[in-house]
Copies of this chain bind each other. A is one copy, B any other.
């Protein structure tokens, strides 16, 4: 089928997936471009493919065609690609794993995406995200993950409860602190961890800070007060992985 009208109810409905609220309600989201569409397909997220008319591409899923103007309407890019994937959210598995990354109120989509990408790179088993963080299905987040969003379980939840539970199970709770923490390179070797990272400006909120078992810091030149949160998270995950590899 070819959709040509911006007033088509289905197109209007899909466009509403640009809002967090509607994505949450429908448990659906959009991805753009061949790379993300393929990643979504391979990991079982892709429900439907929308191709610009005359695009030579196929996947074994429901496929429909749209005109350039419809594609533009559904796109979040200045230069829309020739395809959009309609994806279904998946509930993450219950198995929590050994390496847990907790994100408290990350606001910038680029940072969130970068962190998700690095979490896959450094073998994080599960990401827990606070309810007031930027939506992980925001198109900018998805683009910044480079498709790795589909390769890691992410649970949006009330963080405090979850961390208390993990702490009771014996996970060390690592929180970063500029002054008075342990150098991340010196942290005791151990099989599992919970690493908590906070908001770009305010850091980790105090009720979560209090749950820490260890405060960590990244040694750096004193001219620099802090690192970008995406960078800091990635370095910590690298350093924690580093440690395990050498066991």
Contacts and interface: CB of A to CB of B under 8 A. Distances in A.
* Copies of this chain, count: 2
Contacts of A144: 228
Tell me what chain A mostly uses at the interface: helix, strand, loop, or mixed.
Answer: helix
A118 interface: yes
Contacts of A228: 114, 117-118, 144, 230, 234
A238 B223 contact: no
Give chain A's interface residue range (CB within 8 Å of chain B). 20 to 34
Interface string A93-122: 000000000000000001000100110111
A242 B118 contact: no
A196 to B, nearest CB: 19
A151 interface: yes
Interface of A: 110, 114, 117-118, 120-123, 144, 146, 148, 151, 185, 218-221, 223-228, 230-231, 234-235, 238-239, 241-242, 245
